[in-house]
A and B are shown apart, each in its own frame.
Chain A
Amino acid sequence: MNRFAIPLALFAALVLVFAVALKRAPEKQFVRSALIGKPAAEFTLPDLMNPGGTVDSRSFKGKWVLLNVWGTWCYECRAENPQLLAIRQAGRVAVVGLNYKDEDEAARQWLKELGNPFDAVAVDKEGRVAIDYGVYGAPETFLINPQGIIVHKVVSVITPDLWQTQLLPMIEGRAK
């Protein structure tokens, strides 16, 4: 009995460590954003829908903002579009697009075809603003509160379920 006590205790400790780590790991999200709880980076970028104009991140201060990183080269963004349209319609947040490393003409065509869920679309052709947001792919979506703090990051398609159970409760202040 005694011989096995120490290995057994060590094994139990290991199981406990793994259990806690698994429990704490955000769902399907390998990289937790380092930016949660920090101020969202300010940017002024060309306006996709209004050539010659610019989109200024400061103009959304005071509102909840859903910043969605997308591109026409991103298949999952196509699947995400209907949900973004529904969110825009619900009117709880300003939906801002960051068109990431894309072609303007293709992007406009894409929005015309699928429907434009965005209050504004900023063009980040070189992906420089994306680096400020710790973006490494698309789609990625940031939830930014009226004070301009990043509250949450989604590294996948926003599903109706994810909107209902994660994002909406944060906006309504119901989240734990």
Chain B
Amino acid sequence: MRRTGIALLLAIFALPLLAIDAAPPLADPVQQQRYQALIHELRCLKCQGETVADTQAMFGEDIRRQVREMVQSGKSDPEVRDYLVDRYGEIILLRPRWTAGNAWLWLAPAVFLLGGAWVGWRILRQRRGLLATDTSEVDEVRRP
């Protein structure tokens, strides 16, 4: 029992061996946090559905190294993003930036929501009108 427990505990402690990002954390915790945030918002172009943080593809490995080095050498987040967008295009960012070309991506949900609300409101209003004024069908049914 006790030995099983110890074995289990060891197995749990060994879990980091399965980590995808094998590089040691950056010495500066602030930089480490920025590095983590950045690689979680970059798209792995080799695998499309994954972030650079989550992928085992070689591409992810190289981009993580690049981001790590840039953060370490004092580059700001926008500088890192610009560097990658210059080479890979906007698609590498999982969260599109606010640019003239991208604005519709951000505005479309609000436009659709307002449009839907407007249609719903019109339907409701129409129905309310029906109830208040049109009793002909009801009279029809009541007639024996």
Contacts and interface: CB of A to CB of B under 8 A. Distances in A.
16 contacts: A31-B91, A34-B87, A34-B89, A127-B58, A127-B62, A128-B62, A131-B62, A131-B63, A131-B66, A132-B87, A134-B88, A136-B46, A136-B59, A137-B45, A137-B46, A137-B59
Interface residues of B, number: 16
B117 interface: no
How many A residues touch the partner, as a band?
10 to 19
A101 interface: yes
A31 B89 contact: yes
Interface string A100-143: 01000000000000000000000000111011111011000000
Contacts of A101: 58
B33 to A, nearest CB: 23
A32 interface: yes
B86 interface: yes
A134 B83 CA distance: 11
Contacts of A137: 45-46, 59
A130 B59 CA distance: 10
Interface string A30-59: 111111000000000000000000000000
Contacts of B86: 34
Contacts of B66: 128, 131
B87 A133 contact: yes
